[in-house]
Amino acid sequence: MNVRQAPEFPQWPQYDEKEREGLIRALEQGQWWRMGGSEVDTFEREFAAFHGAPHALAVTNGTHALELALQCMGVGPGTEVVVPAFTFISSSQAAQRLGAVAVPVDVDPHTYNIDVAAAAAAVTPRTRAIMPVHMAGFLADMDALAKLSADTGVPLLQDAAHAHGARWRGKRIGELGTVAAFSFQNGKLMTAGEGGAVLFPDTETHETAFLRHSCGRPRTDRRYLHRIAGTNLRLNEFSAAVLRAQLGRLEEQITTRQKRWAVLSPLLGAIDGVVPQRADERTDFPSHYMAMFRVPGIGEADRNALVDRLVAAGLPAFAAFRAIHRTDAFWEIGAPDETVEQIAERCPHTEAISQDCVWLHHRVLLAGEQDMHRTAEIVADAVAAV
């Protein structure tokens, strides 16, 4: 492989004096947990308003956000949740840890989002939720999914861990009328190292979620009146202070990523054997959590070797998610009554994508335009060498 000058990507996470000021503000208020402080409450209001939702609840991490949302939607033993087979394992395990069966379905080979027809075929009388994952910040077909939900009576839970700030036909995620869960893990589009949030379209579910995330206790409880079963998923004041600062620069960063993807995507597409991820054009403001592309037919071993070459050349590159049914964790609890081979036969696109897809961290798309050209040159050299 030719040796090229590595692009200069910004570090991630990004921070400035606003995070420092927020941490000091949280420190000096004298109350470091949400029940006594003001940072979490304020962040929830700001995050909900930014996404056009009536309510937001901040929690400990994105996995807990999914689990709490599913629990509030009635998911538990004897129920099923339809999930895409190509996703991070938390999407399925959030349902499985509640005692439900996670039913994987195939994804679109271009957007990598849930195949709506496959989701429809998987719905049974036991289905309590359908979970579209907005892969890399490109939204799933929310029009078709909304119709499926209306036709079947099965609610949607948007796994929006990649989609902070994204929009579908001009609508923000909180304006799409469903519950949505977010992650603030260290690599996400906004972060406090860990953290999560759930958007709710109605007050009743939001209040139930608050009780469940705070050991079943009402907000003003002083007598240990645990009204429903719950656990401690409360976000701390320091994390919320950091997230308020992170939220303040999110839209500007997304706009920059959009401009850079408009340069990088056609450059990648011009490389022999490389196919960039495509967005549904109705996602008119994708958040670009990843810069994803496929090398169809490469095979998993050569794909992994390609990733190693990209990393050696200075790109923050990763192999894409393994199909969830190809992980040991999936089969420990809450797996459907099928074999790996049967699920694989139903999910041919997932099988292929999980072996030939590569992604670059979103900080690549915060670099300069010339760095997009250097990135594409490195990818071209690495693909040619494998």
- Of residues 159, 280, 356, 371, which has the active-site annotation? 159
Task: Look up 20 and say whether it is catalytic.
Answer: no
- Of residues 224, 272, 328, 337, which has the active-site annotation? 224
Rounded distance between C-alpha atoms, residue 244 and residue 241, angstroms: 5
Rounded distance between C-alpha atoms, residue 367 and residue 365, angstroms: 5
- Of residues 217, 244, 288, 326, which has the active-site annotation? 217
| Closest CA relative to residue 52, chosen from 165, 191, 140 | 165
Provide φ and ψ at 343, rounded to 5°: -65, -40
Residue 186 CB: number of other CB atoms within 10 A? 12
**Lookup result for tokens 């009743």:** 204
Rounded distance between C-alpha atoms, residue 349 and residue 252, angstroms: 34
Task: Look up 162 and say whether it is catalytic.
Answer: yes
Which residues, other chains included, contact 106 with Cβ-Cβ below 8 Å and sequence gap of 6+? 84, 85, 115, 118, 346, 347, 348, 349, 350
Task: Look up 234 and say whether it is catalytic.
Answer: yes
Strands 80-84 and 317-319: unpaired
| Closest CA relative to residue 347, chosen from 322, 367, 378 | 322
Tokens of 310: 């990209």
Tally the residues of the chain: 386
- Of residues 55, 128, 134, 162, which has the active-site annotation? 162
Rounded distance between C-alpha atoms, residue 339 and residue 353, angstroms: 20
Backbone torsion region of residue 197, taken as left when φ is above 0, otherwise alpha when ψ lies between -120 and 50, otherwise beta: beta
- Of residues 4, 185, 221, 308, which has the active-site annotation? 185
Task: Look up 159 and say whether it is catalytic.
Answer: yes
CB 251 within 8 A of CB 172: no
- Of residues 34, 164, 167, 188, which has the active-site annotation? 188
Q: Which amino acid is at 198?
A: V
DSSP assignment letter at 219:
T
- Of residues 134, 234, 260, 288, which has the active-site annotation? 234
Task: Look up 96 and say whether it is catalytic.
Answer: no
Task: Look up 294 and say whether it is catalytic.
Answer: no
Task: Look up 224 and say whether it is catalytic.
Answer: yes
Q: Just list the catalytic residues.
A: 88, 159, 162, 185, 188, 217, 224, 234
